[in-house]
Amino acid sequence: MKHLIGAVIALSLLGSTAAVAQRDNQDYQRNFNEPNNDRHHWSKGDRLPEQYRQDRYVVGDWKQHNLRTPPRGYHWVRNDNDQFILAAIATGVIYEIVSENQNRDDYRWSRGERLSEGYRGDRYIVTDWRNSHLQRPARGSHWVHVNDQFMLISGNGVIAQIVSDRR
């Protein structure tokens, strides 16, 4: 009988501990996903929280931030993490995310990273890749020069290779 009572007490303690842990986890998840706590990472296809769909977050001077012209029906929004988000005006669906750090002169790009649209324009494209001692780009790819890095960009904007400027 003592063993049975001990087992019941142990199970009830475990059950209440699990319930508290589950409740704490639910509270954490709810707080984590609130718009005022912007610590999670948004991705293409996510929907902007209502907070960021207000006019005060819309970026009107997108050229000064080296961002591309937003297509019709889209606008640039800046969140509290210094990211620029290209989102549909009507739905808030995210099409592209650009970190403000990418605009810094000392930013070091990495292979596999997606080069923001602002750096894919004619101003950055390297047409004379031979004189820069670069290999011929594969079909659908091209070289760009940003800061002191030459980057081979695939058709979808992903950095395939990086070569430091030798000048």
DSSP structural state of residue 64:
G
Q: Given 53, 78, 103, which residue is the final one in a domain? A: 103
Q: How many domains does the chain have?
A: 3
Strand partners, 75: 87
Spell out the per-residue pLDDT of the chain, length 167, in tens. 666 566 556 555 555 444 444 444 444 343 334 444 444 467 778 898 888 888 999 999 888 877 888 999 999 998 877 788 899 999 999 888 777 666 666 677 778 777 877 777 788 899 999 988 999 999 999 999 988 889 999 888 888 999 987 65
- Asked if 48 and 88 sit in the same domain, the reply is yes
- Using CA atoms, how far residue 48 sits from 31, 71, 97, 167, in Å, is 16, 17, 11, 43
Q: What is the CATH number of the domain that holds 92?
A: 3.10.450.160
- Asked if 69 and 115 sit in the same domain, the reply is no
pTM of the model: 0.45
> Residue 18's domain spans which residues?
1-32
- Asked if 117 and 87 sit in the same domain, the reply is no
Q: Given 69, 87, 103, which residue is the final one in a domain? A: 103
Which pLDDT belongs to residue 10? 55
Q: Given 103, 127, 150, which residue is the final one in a domain? A: 103
Report the C-alpha gap between 46 and 128 in whole angstroms. 39
- Asked if 22 and 9 sit in the same domain, the reply is yes
